[in-house]
């Protein structure tokens, strides 16, 4: 039954990421902000879930959100692809700024999510 819970969450996460990506595509030509946005939001939600799951036992909902929804909503592979694409365009400083910004933002967001529940 866990596979069904994860699959349902994954479907909803992938659809959500696609819709957000399509909506945010037109806002920035210099940096792929849609990926940064979904990873930041996903990290915040994961921080919330992490804190709550330490205090309770709700495995089906945890699997639905983390293994399913957030697993397909957030995307490291797209972030990696976009970073390499920027490097291949010979925009080295932009690439490193994007990578650094991405790491900084997702770490801040997961921390904020974790402590928001406290």
The tally of CA atoms less than 13 A away on the side-chain side of residue 17 is: 24
Helix, strand or coil for residue 91?
A: coil
Do the annotations mark residue 75 as ligand-binding?
A: no
Helices (H) and strands (E) in the chain, counts: 6, 0
d(CA 49, CA 88): 37
Is 94 flagged in the annotation as binding?
Answer: no
State the CB neighbour count (10 A cutoff) for residue 106: 22
Q: Give the residue ranges of the annotated binding site for Na(+).
A: 71, 74
Q: Give the residue ranges of the annotated binding site.
A: 71, 74
């Amino acid at each position: 039954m866990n596979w069904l819970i994860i699959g349902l969450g994954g479907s909803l996460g992938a659809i959500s990421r696609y819709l957000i990506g399509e909506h945010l595509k037109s806002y920035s030509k210099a940096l792929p902000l849609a990926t940064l946005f979904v990873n930041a939001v996903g990290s915040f939600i994961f921080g919330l879930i992490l804190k709550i799951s330490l205090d309770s036992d709700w495995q089906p909902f945890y699997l639905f959100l983390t293994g399913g929804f957030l697993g397909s909503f957030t995307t490291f592979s797209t972030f990696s692809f976009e970073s390499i694409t920027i490097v291949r365009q010979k925009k080295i400083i932009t690439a490193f700024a994007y990578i650094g910004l991405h790491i900084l933002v997702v770490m801040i967001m997961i921390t904020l999510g974790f402590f928001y529940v406290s």
